[in-house]
Structure 1
Amino acid sequence: MSTEAAMAQGKAGQAGRAGRPGKGKAVTNAELRSMLLALPEAEEVMVEAWGHPTYRVRNKMFASTSEGSPTVCLKAAKETQQALLASDPATFTFPAYVGRHGWVDVALATVDRGELAELVAEAWRLTAPKRLVKAYDEENALPRP
């Protein structure tokens, strides 16, 4: 997600998340897991020392959460992180340990489903090899009229 897109979404969020399209009940951990694992070569890797799973593409982490957790931690560009944190502090927070690298915690109870899907895809895109991202983009390109 570009900084401009994050800012635009943030302005919509400041106007009131409850009225945004796609906003309804909280995203469940099962729905989140499905969203994360739907991306090419994404896999769930349990980190015993941490006590929760991480989501990776070619063994590089792009998301982290735990069963029953009210949040997911996603990789993001620092500009996107800043825009999200400014746009809706109730939904987007600065995570411990990885926040300084651009990651962001996202509250599943208040995030818009469509926005979460975009953030998950962007986290994957920042982590996946360029060739895999290119193949994914070509496969999912919208047909031109």
Structure 2
Amino acid sequence: MATADDVREIATGLPRTIERLVRDRVKFNVGRIVYVALSRDEQVMGCGFPKEERDAVIAAEPDKFSMPGKGDQRYHWIVVELRNVTRDELRELVTDAWRMCAPKTVVREYDARHASPSR
């Protein structure tokens, strides 16, 4: 089970991330682009996610993932039930969302520093 504290720890460890409070909701940005947002009760997370993969992931794991609200469906975004994902799944979701909006040079530098020795 992942928590909002896990989200915060992962996101703030990513380069150029800024944590902000917007209308009583915690959001994580790179520049002006939000890549993760927590619900007010911090039980649900929205994050950047490829639109072309969204329907399949939601259909495969509806207990973990759901469609964003109608106004946000045009964006690359998905909703995640934190209590139903592991910390490893959360790390992958948050990091991939960050990769979608961080500058490519920053992503390459991050990946080079965090590459496993077996790569």
Q: Deviations over 1:116-143 (max 9, x none)?
A: 1111110000010111111111111222
**RMSD of aligned Cα (Å):** 1.7
Structure 2 distance, partners of 1:82, 1:60, is 23
Higher Cα Rg: structure 1 or 2?
A: 1
- Unaligned 5+ segments in structure 2 are none
Whole-Å Cα distance in 1 between the matches of residues 19 and 92 of structure 2? Answer: 19
- 1:70 aligns with 43
Aligned length: 118
TM-score, length of structure 2 as denominator length:
0.88
TM-score by length of 1: 0.74
The partner residue of 2:93 within 116, 119, 124 is 119
Task: Say which of 108, 133, 137 aligns to 2:107.
Answer: 133
Question: What is the percentage of aligned positions where both structures have the same residue?
Answer: 31
In the alignment, which of 40, 50, 54 is matched to residue 27 of structure 2? Answer: 54
In structure 1, list runs of 5 or more residues that go unmatched: 1-25
> Which 4+ stretches in 1 moved above 4 angstroms?
none
Deviation at 1:40, TM superposition (A): 1.0
Give the match's secondary structure for 1:101: coil
In terms of fraction of residues, the more strand-rich structure is: 2
What's the CA shift for 1:28? 1.8
1:101 & 1:57 partners in 2: Cα distance? 16
